[in-house]
A and B are shown apart, each in its own frame.
Chain A
Amino acid sequence: MSPVWPGVGEGKGELFWTHWTEVLTLKTYWVSKGSAFSTSISKQEAELSPEMISSGSWRDRPFKSYNFSAHGILPDSGHLHPLLKVRTQFRQIFLEMGFTEMPTDNFIESSFWNFDALFQPQQHPARDQHDTFFLKDPAEALQLPTDYVHRVKRVHSHGGYGSQGYKYNWKLDEARKNLLRTHTTAASARALYRLAQKKPFTPAKYFSIDRVFRNETLDATHLAEFHQIEGVVADHGLTLGHLMGVLREFFTKLGITQLRFKPAYNPYTEPSMEVFSYHQGLKKWVEVGNSGLFRPEMLLPMGLPENVSVIAWGLSLERPTMIKYNINNIRELVGHKVNLQMVYDSPLCRLDAEQGSPQTQETT
């Protein structure tokens, strides 16, 4: 029979498939002496060994060439969480600017410190079940500073301290309601109240970075829990210009130098400003923080002297972290659904280094 070539053209060779013919492959090699030809056998070494060093035999051994383009073995290390690496940097920045850290070790707060002391009225939407987590147990605060509460009640319902007040029926029961704090400004209120009890008044700079809780609609960039960064300066004669100056120094340490300020509204600050910075990657102005001077209706009932102004500003920790580490879904960063590989791989947090890669995507 004539030779059958399987796989050549259409006919694969019926004869091949019926096993009447078998294809044998014959390989032939031409062999010649190479440069390392030797009549004795020696293994190529990979690495130096203690025995080689003491005997000096390393001089006679050939060593395999090392593949420099492959990766090495990553050291067996632990890792810090990216969000908390960013938190460390922000703490550093505040400490460098002379700010003292406020105690914030209470997630549970009363409506009084969270809202009323801040001159936020009792019928304000933020106090709704929608935005605030109220508690079933313990449902109400056990103690509130009585005299201070009276002054707060008066300024809400009747005014005073130069204010018209809100002119509504302020209820103690409402102020007693416990909740999961919606902002660390509640802790700032406590700190300012403590400061006001110390006579004579000494200027202070405070900061805090801690967890807050909002009962809002959840999506790719919003969770029920997040971290708020807050800075506060209390001194005589502070102006809106001073607030801008402090913000400029603060944001410069974050590598953000182009700032613009926009009028805004907060129940407890007046004037208020939103802070915008120019994002090189997105080629537009994005909001980076909120700020203002605390209202006299908040400060004076505490007992702070009349010519003392308190400037304050805040931003979230999650947002700059997501931008810095290029993360689009907040659940990959915070909570148990975190991407551990991302935690293993995330670089040092250097806030004042070049801002992100050009592909950095917008996260609101």
Chain B
Amino acid sequence: MPTVSVKRDLLFQALGRTYTDEEFDELCFEFGLELDEITSEKEIISKEQGNEKAEGASDVILYKIDVPANRYDLLCLEGLVRGLQVFKERIKAPVYKRVMPNGEIQKLIITEETAKIRPYAVAAVLRNIKFTKDRYDSFIELQEKLHQNICRKRALVAIGTHDLDTLSGPFTYTAKRPSDIKFKPLNKTKEYTACELMNIYKTDNHLKHYLHIIENKPLYPVIYDSNGVVLSMPPIINGNHTKITVNTRNVFIECTGTDFTKAKIVLDIIVTMFSEYCENQFTVEAAEVVFPNGKSSTFPELAYRKEMVRADLINKKVGIRETPENIAKLLTRMYLKSEVIGDGNQIEIEIPPTRADVIHACDIVEDAAIAYGYNNIQMALPKTYTIANQFPLNKLTELLRYDMAAAGFTEALTFALCSQEDIADKLGLDISATNAVHISNPKTAEFQVARTTLLPGLLKTIAANRKMPLPLKLFEISDIVIKDSSRDVGARNYRHLCAVYYNKNPGFEIIHGLLDRIMQLLDVPPGEKKRGYVIKASEGPAFFPGRCAEVFARGQSIGKLGVLHPDVITKFELNMPCSTLEINIEPFL
């Protein structure tokens, strides 16, 4: 969940009233937000860097509010306030308009070189805007939030905002060789080539995460104005020339990226949120984008979409009985202006450009339910009549578990992921012989493979509990994973039963006895007969020579039992003799 940090008093000022923390928490709960933390800049720095560094930091109370990941319109104070005010019916949702400029329209020309790297771009102008320090901070912060969220860390879309009065259009969005791009980037005092910048930013804690997006490409994206001034080199950094300050009056916004839909949504969000501070409130000046094929489009789109939903559909899906008029009111409170039309049963809903998250009638149903109040809905039990069935493998497992405990063994629950060593080297095998599933880019060795045997987990459990009195008798009935090309995904689970006996003596006869008991429980008689079981002398790198047997039941080999080889015992950091049994229980279904 994205978190938005807002100054509490600013928030209350904009909402037109104060709340106690509990009251505001309750409001958030109702609306689907979460008041995650109440803190201050001082407290944050104190926690992260110690009390000394926090000296002189702001004491102003901050509310950290978690917003749903699909609500881009709630990612800043302006959007939160607007959403809550409309929810509480204190204001009517403003209507956002795109207007044509008095003079020449700003143009952004895209050249074909961008096609291979970041083909899409959209643009708009916020005309005669009035910033204060707080509004300015909010403006920058929103871009950062959008970058992290819908823009997928700038990979899909990058936002650039520029002081229009320092520029002269038309603007060109093109791609050039890194060595051919030279400009003074934001907050630096001299010019650098793009190659130099890539090096400099390698140590910048903020920007280093984005370098990979264009680093190894032959051409880097860059936007120029008609005088060759660099606006930005997306997605890395803006030029210093066009830097926005609190005094900026006209802002040129460009969004570039690899996802056209998201670029348009991002542009719409920024302009709708901050057009509140334009002289002509809630209007956005259009900009024209010319594509490589010569065609052009005007942005921002600021599309209002209409959708028609039947009132009884909403009632049916939520489980309420509201009149169409009431439902229309509920939806209007959720920023979805609605009215009853037609035969009195249809509701026409206007979806504003700030609600790109509404893509289906079910989104509208949820908003109606939220406005109604989830906790006001009457609970009912479905009349669905069904007879329950257990999954046979789990049913068998449950039965066996109890009797394993009755036999004196204690159940362990070990990790399904482990190191290659655990299932191969430590058991005297080569990893290629295990047919194991390998995980890509594991953070640590503990996540290299999925286990192909339950034995390492049990041995590690003993190692972690070596102070416990002997003997240690552990078991586990759980899944292992093996590659299998007959399955749609290429791998499958097998349900194994594994037991270990760890004591001053190996206890082979005890593990053998346990196997006999298990077969007795499974109603598998001893003997070579078709439904019976036998054990035959065998060998294996994990076992002590002469003390290993293979188990055959129902005509197939189901596993092995025996005394563990001292090498295995020492590799798992143990020092007592140990015997083990591991079988596949699926043949007994």
Contacts and interface: CB of A to CB of B under 8 A. Distances in A.
A78 B440 contact: no
A322 interface: no
Interface stretch (B99-107, B287-295, B365-373): B365-373
A320 interface: no
Given A99-B386, A270-B362, A142 B485 contact: yes
Given A133-B447, A240-B369, A271-B362, A77 B408 contact: yes
B522 to A, nearest CB: 18
Interface in A235-254: 235, 237-242, 244-246, 248-249
B443 A215 contact: yes
B375 A261 contact: yes
B359 A81 contact: no
Contacts of B412: 81, 336, 338, 343
B201 interface: no
Contact of B386 (A166, A205, A260): A205
Contact of A245 (B317, B381, B441): B381
A144 B460 CA distance: 38
Interface residues of A, number: 102
Contacts of A362: none
B404 interface: yes
Contacts of A162: 360-361
Give the one of A138, A143, A166 with max B CB within 10 A: A138
A16 interface: no
B404 A106 contact: no
B415 A225 contact: yes
B32 interface: yes
B375 to A, nearest CB: 6
B490 A138 contact: yes
B511 to A, nearest CB: 14
Contacts of A172: none
A272 interface: yes
Given A135-B437, A164-B360, A233 B382 contact: yes
A205 B261 contact: no
Given A102-B391, A225-B417, A265-B69, A203 B437 contact: no
Interface in B431-465: 437-443, 446-447, 450, 457-458, 460-461, 463-465
Nearest to B260: A167
B95 interface: no
Contact of B318 (A129, A240, A262, A334): A240
Contact of B32 (A133, A249, A262, A337): A262
B80 to A, nearest CB: 15
Contact of B411 (A94, A108, A166, A343): A343
B437 A224 contact: no
Contact of A107 (B384, B389, B413, B450): B450
A244 to B, nearest CB: 4
B384 A203 contact: yes
Contacts of B229: none
Contacts of A240: 317-319, 369, 374, 377
Interface in A78-92: 78-81, 83-84, 88, 91
Categorize the interface residue count of chain B. 35 or more
A110 interface: yes
B121 to A, nearest CB: 17
Contacts of B377: 240-241, 244
Contact of B464 (A97, A244, A336): A336
Nearest to A335: B415
A80 B402 contact: yes
A134 B440 contact: yes
B259 interface: yes
A68 to B, nearest CB: 25
B69 to A, nearest CB: 6
B437 A108 contact: yes
Contact of A263 (B374, B407, B439, B442): B374
Contact of A338 (B370, B387, B401, B464): B464
Given A134-B439, A134-B441, A178 B489 contact: yes
A78 B472 CA distance: 10
B389 A100 contact: yes
A250 B584 CA distance: 34
B359 A235 contact: no
Interface stretch (A25-33, A42-50, A51-59, A293-301): A293-301
A273 interface: yes
Contact of A337 (B378, B406, B407, B464): B464
B374 A105 contact: no
Interface of B: 1, 29, 31-32, 68-71, 152, 156, 259, 261-262, 316-320, 359-363, 365-366, 369-370, 374-375, 377-391, 393-394, 398, 401-402, 404-417, 437-443, 446-447, 450, 457-458, 460-461, 463-465, 468, 472-473, 475, 479, 481, 483, 485, 487-493, 495
7 contacts: A77-B405, A78-B406, A81-B410, A107-B450, A263-B31, A264-B68, A273-B374
Given A245-B380, A265-B32, A271-B362, 12 more contacts: A91-B394, A91-B398, A95-B388, A98-B386, A125-B152, A168-B262, A223-B415, A240-B377, A241-B378, A261-B374, A335-B415, A337-B464
